[in-house]
Amino acid sequence: DTAVSQTPKYLVTQMGNDKSIKCEQNLGHDTMYWYKQDSKKFLKIMFSYNNKELIINETVPNRFSPKSPDKAHLNLHINSLELGDSAVYFCASSHLAGGAQYFGPGTRLTVT
């Protein structure tokens, strides 16, 4: 199936740990994104990559580091996890600026 996929879908970990979330899209899109949805359901962009190049980097702690090995993949690594990092993280992709963004199923991260 053509889609945006993320792994894992659920991640429970302790404070101070380092974790990664992987994202892959087979839609042939050039641009990929990471969004964070907080406990009040508010969605905010974190990063955007276009063809492996970082183009958007919102005010995100530098404990968060995205990596795009190729234009179909965008991973998110988080160092020294904190309680406040608990949220749902969505990966998305789009073909063109202004085009519809297609979202992955989300990764619910719980930091205890």
Partner 1 sequence: AQTVTQSQPEMSVQEAETVTLSCTYDTSESDYYLFWYKQPPSRQMILVIRQEAYKQQNATENRFSVNFQKAAKSFSLKISDSQLGDAAMYFCAYTQGGSEKLVFGKGTKLTVNP
What's the min distance (Å) between Cβ of 80 and partner 1? 26
What's the min distance (Å) between Cβ of 56 and partner 1? 6
Would you call the peptide bond into 8 cis, given omega within 30 degrees of 0 as the criterion? yes
| C-beta of 84 vs 98, nearer to partner 1 | 98
- List Cβ neighbours of 16 (8 Å cut-off, separation of 6 or more): 80, 81
What's the min distance (Å) between Cβ of 16 and partner 1? 27
CB 83 within 8 A of CB 111: yes
| C-beta of 31 vs 68, nearer to partner 1 | 31
How many angstroms separate the CA atoms of 37 and 89, rounded?
6
What's the min distance (Å) between Cβ of 13 and partner 1? 19
| C-beta of 10 vs 18, nearer to partner 1 | 10
| C-beta of 29 vs 111, nearer to partner 1 | 29
CB 18 within 8 A of CB 77: yes
96: amino acid identity, one letter: L
* Contacting residues toward partner 1, per CB under 8 A: 31, 33, 35, 40-45, 48, 50, 55-56, 88, 90, 92, 94, 97-103, 105-106, 108
Residue that has been written with the tokens 């889609």 in this structure: 3
